[in-house]
Amino acid sequence: MEQLISLIQANTAIAAGLMIGLGALGACIGMGVMGSKYLESMARQPELNPMLTGRMFLLVGLIDADFFISLAIAMFFAFANPLLTTALAHAAALPH
Give me the catalytic one of 64, 68, 72, 90.
64
How many CA atoms does the CB half-sphere of 43 hold within 13 Å? Answer: 6
Encode pLDDT of 46-67 as tens digits: 999 999 999 999 999 999 999 9
DSSP string, 44-61: H-GGGHHHHHHHHHHHHH
pLDDT above 90: percentage of residues in the chain? 72
Give the Cα separation of 74 and 18 in Å (integer). Answer: 9
Query: What's residue 29's pLDDT?
Result: 95
* Known catalytic membership, residue 66: no
Give the Cα separation of 42 and 52 in Å (integer). Answer: 8
Encode pLDDT of 10-25 as tens digits: 999 999 999 999 999 9
Domain boundaries, the chain: 2-89
Under CATH, which number does the domain 2-89 receive? 1.20.20.10
Query: What's residue 32's pLDDT?
Result: 95
